[in-house]
Amino acid sequence: MLHQLPLERLVAYERVDSTNSEALRLLRQGQACPFLVLASQQTDGRGRRGRRWESPPGAGLYYTLALEVDRNMQNIAALSLVTALSVCSALEKLGVKKLELKWPNDLLGDARKLSGILLERLSVGSRLFVLIGVGVNLNLPESIKCDLGQPVTDVKALLGIDLEVDRVAAAITIKLLANIKRFGENGFSDFVADWNSRDAYLGKQVRVQVNESVSQGEIQGVTALGELRLRTESGEQVISTGEIMPSVRLIASDEAMK
C-alpha cells in the first residue's frame, strides 16, 4: 500500500539517527518532494523543544513526510494542529478508539500520550519545505513506559492487536496529504470544529507555559488560526502557536478552586 502512494520516493531504514534529520539531508541533496522517510529504530529521535523521543527497534512508527509548500501559505504554524488531527483520524480509521488531542499537537489515547509531532522548516532560495515528523507508540516495552516520567500508551494497549507499521504509515500519509491540500485552500478554519470536538481539555482548567510565562484558565477551544483560547480571571487570552510551542498542564479541581 505504501508503494501506491503519490510520493517521489520512499526511504526505509532499519536504523537511523532521526527520520527528520535524514529527510533534511535528502532535501539538501536535492531530493524531489513529496517523499517519506521511515525507520525501525531511531538512535537520536527528537521531540518538541529538544526533548528525546524514545525509539526502540520495532516498537513504534518513526516517520517523516517532506513536502514543498507555497512560500506564501498563510498561518503555516497551524500545520502542526492539522497534522495531529490527521494522525488521529488515520488511527481511528484503523480501529483505534479513546483518542483525544492536546493542544498544540499531542495525541492522547485513554488520557495517555500516544503520539508526538515535530514540524521543521527549511528555506532554499525562494522555496520552502516542511518536514512533518510523527512518532506513534505501537508496542512499547513496559520498561520504557515506566521510565518515561509521564503517562504513555501504545496502539497495542488500545486496540488489543498489533498494527503493521506500513499500514499505519500509509493511512497517516493519505490523510495528511488530503488535509494539507484542504488547509492550503481554506486555512485552519475548516478544522476548528473537528479539533474542538476532540480536545481532551476543552472546558477544563489548565496552566499554559510559554517560555517563562505561565497563564491559568479554562480552555475554550481554538481559533480559526489554531490559537488556544483561554478564559482567565481577566478575560479571554489567546495563545498563539509558533516556533516555541507552549506546554499545557491540567489542574486538579481542588487546586483550581484556590
CATH of the domain at 131: 3.30.930.10
pLDDT at 72: 84
What's the pLDDT band for 183 if we cut at 50, 70, 90?
Answer: very high
Last residue of a domain, which of 197, 217, 240?
Answer: 197
Which is nearest to 47 in space by CA: 135, 111, 178?
135
pLDDT at 21: 92
Asked whether residue 125 falls in the same domain as residue 225, the answer is no
Rounded mean pLDDT of 18-47? Answer: 89
Contact partners, residue 255, CB within 8 Å, separation at least 6: none
Asked whether residue 122 falls in the same domain as residue 209, the answer is no
Out of 19-23, 28-32, 39-43, 181-185, pick the least confident. 39-43
The answer to whether residue 56 scores a pLDDT higher than 70 is: no
Asked whether residue 126 falls in the same domain as residue 227, the answer is no
Asked whether residue 106 falls in the same domain as residue 89, the answer is yes
Asked whether residue 89 falls in the same domain as residue 215, the answer is no
> 42 forms bridges with which residues in the sheet?
16
Find the domain containing 224 and state its range.
Answer: 201-256
CA distance 164 to 139: 11
Which is nearest to 103 in space by CA: 254, 227, 243?
227
What tens digit of pLDDT does each residue of 60-113 get?
Answer: 999 999 999 998 888 888 999 999 999 999 999 999 998 999 998 899 999 999
Q: How many residues does the chain have?
A: 258
Asked whether residue 153 falls in the same domain as residue 222, the answer is no
Last residue of a domain, which of 182, 197, 212?
Answer: 197
Asked whether residue 75 falls in the same domain as residue 6, the answer is yes
What is the separation, in whole angstroms, between the first and last Cα of the chain?
54
Which cell numbers in the block locate residue 234? 481577566
Asked whether residue 191 falls in the same domain as residue 218, the answer is no
Asked whether residue 244 falls in the same domain as residue 187, the answer is no
Asked whether residue 129 falls in the same domain as residue 233, the answer is no
CB 82 within 8 A of CB 179: yes
Asked whether residue 176 falls in the same domain as residue 207, the answer is no
The three-state secondary structure class of 87 is helix
What tens digit of pLDDT does each residue of 126-172 get?
Answer: 899 999 999 999 998 876 776 666 789 999 999 999 999 999 999 99
The model's pTM is 0.90
Asked whether residue 139 falls in the same domain as residue 225, the answer is no
